[in-house]
Amino acid sequence: MNIGAAAAASGVAAKMIRHYEAIGLLPRAPRRSNDYRDYGERDVHELRFIKRARRLGFSMHEIGALLMLWRDRARPSREVRHIAEAHVDDLERRIADMQAMAKTLRQLMHKCHGDDRPDCPILDDLATGEDGVSGAQA
């Protein structure tokens, strides 16, 4: 099937399929005599795999490692689990960071009158450069 058909079958945009090929996440599809890319069912399955992994928040690097493990039927599942555990740890850290940011913003909003006065604790806090959010990164 051509790239349009592969995109429709997998739910992945043709532009992203080209990108995945360019970064080596997906092998470059062979070309037909008319120079169109030729994709098979396995390619579509891998595209669905990538799409699902992206929806779960895995990085491209992690997806590449997971794809390699998926392609290797003799893989040890502990390697897959290790990638998933590291990803969950990262997600939990990011969630904690976002919760701390939301808490700080709620506190600042509580201090802001939100009326016609020009003074604003939110802008004052942003201007001071003080980071009251523990673990948050710029």
In a domain, 45, yes or no: yes
Same domain, 22 and 49: yes
Domain count, the chain: 2
Q: Taking residues 82-111, what's their average pLDDT?
A: 96
Looking up tokens 């890319």 gives 37
In a domain, 22, yes or no: yes
- What is the reported pLDDT for 30? 87
**What domain range is 17 assigned to?**
3-59
* Residue (of 3, 33, 35) closest to 18 by Cα position: 3
Looking up tokens 């904690």 gives 96
pTM for the structure as a whole? 0.78
In a domain, 118, yes or no: yes
In a domain, 67, yes or no: no
Judged against a pLDDT cut of 60, whether residue 138 lies above it is answered with no
Q: Taking residues 79-100, what's their average pLDDT?
A: 97
Judged against a pLDDT cut of 80, whether residue 5 lies above it is answered with yes
Is there a contact between 30 and 38 (Cβ–Cβ < 8 Å)? Answer: yes
* CA Rg value for the chain: 23
Residue 66: exposed, middle, or buried by beta-carbon count in 10 A (0-12, 13-18, 19+)? buried
